Amino acid sequence: METITRDDEQQHLMVDVDVIEARSKFRVRELTRDSETGVSILSRVCLDIPKGLIVGIIGPSGSGKSTLLRSLNRLWEPPAGTVFLDGRDICDLDVLSLRRKVGMLFQLPVLFEGTVADNVRYGPHLRGEKLTDTEVHKLLNLADLDSSFASKTGGALSVGQAQRVALARTLANEPEVLLLDEPTSALDPISTQNIEDAILKLKKSQGMTTIIVSHSIKQIQRIADLVCLLVNGEVVEVLKPEHLSEANHPMAQKFLELSS
């Protein structure tokens, strides 16, 4: 930046781009392998996840989508100096506080024993905090569930409802980022819509940064601001979902054909 001359408009444009990049919630640089096992699945992945946006990750089976997602909260341990959250190397962060900031939902929800309210209170309870009934209801509402669910047990819920309880439980940790690994692949269309509504509401009301792995291009087109296409562990495209048809990589066209 020191080299910029005031009169050079082009250079000023470059500064703006730098500033936007500096506001990325996540930056991934040259990520290839799990530093614990040494296994290389990704191919020098570089990616910026802008704050407050929903980013969809798509790609063929086995391309490394879950691995990339898991590297963001150290379920897959990235080498130092490859993944940054708000400019800080995530390897320098305490792993539990990282996972509190970066919440994750999986394909199938697993609820703990007890009521829905017990589940939602779980994270705060571990930190010695007790959520009031009103706070529990608010979290359920954020996950698109009404407060009558608080007293139900896991066995009385559909998979879609259980997934929303898992979302409310994650939100109780006040995450700044949500990682969603195919969160609706086991759900019917109505439950899928409920989860998508909840994700969109969270973006609008809380500016939540969300990264979602999905096999459904249509889902990505409905909710994502950006889509990242992964092929053989390599990020081959990052673009707006509405521009997928203009993508150069043949896999992008194949995905579009298969989804139409």
How many C-beta atoms lie closer than 10 Å to residue 17's C-beta? Answer: 9
Based on CB atoms, which residue is closest to ligand ATP, 62 or 87? Answer: 62
Among 56, 64, 78, 123, binds ligand ATP (CB under 6 A): 64
User: Is 182 exposed, middle or buried (CB count within 10 Å of its CB: 0-12, 13-18, 19+)?
Assistant: buried
Based on CB atoms, which residue is closest to ligand ATP, 144 or 182? Answer: 182
Q: What is the CA radius of gyration of the chain?
A: 19
**Which tokens in the block code for residue 67?**
């691995």
183: contact with ligand ATP by CB under 6 A: no
Cα angle at 62 between 50 and 228, to 5 degrees? 20
- Determine the interface stretch with ligand ATP among 60-68, 134-142, 197-205, 240-248 (rule: CB under 6 A): 60-68
78: contact with ligand ATP by CB under 6 A: no
- Determine the interface stretch with ligand ATP among 62-70, 85-93, 108-116, 150-158 (rule: CB under 6 A): 62-70
x/- mask, ligand ATP, residues 19-58, rule CB under 6 A, reads --------------------x-x-----------------
Among 13, 19, 62, 249, binds ligand ATP (CB under 6 A): 62
Tell me which amino acid residue 38 is. G
Strands (E), 143-245: 177-181, 209-213, 226-231, 234-239
CA 215, CA 197: separation in Å to the nearest integer?
A: 18
209: contact with ligand ATP by CB under 6 A: no
66: contact with ligand ATP by CB under 6 A: yes
Tell me which amino acid residue 3 is. T
> Which residues, other chains included, contact 225 with Cβ-Cβ below 8 Å and sequence gap of 6+?
50, 53, 54, 55, 240, 241
Tell me which amino acid residue 196 is. E
Q: Binding-site residue total for ligand ATP (CB under 6 A)?
A: 10
- Determine the interface stretch with ligand ATP among 16-24, 61-69, 116-124, 164-172 (rule: CB under 6 A): 61-69
Q: What is the DSSP letter of 111?
A: P
219: contact with ligand ATP by CB under 6 A: no
73: contact with ligand ATP by CB under 6 A: no
59: contact with ligand ATP by CB under 6 A: yes
Write phi, then psi, for 84 (nearest 5 degrees): -125, 135
Site residues (CB under 6 A) for ligand ATP? Answer: 39, 41, 59, 61-67
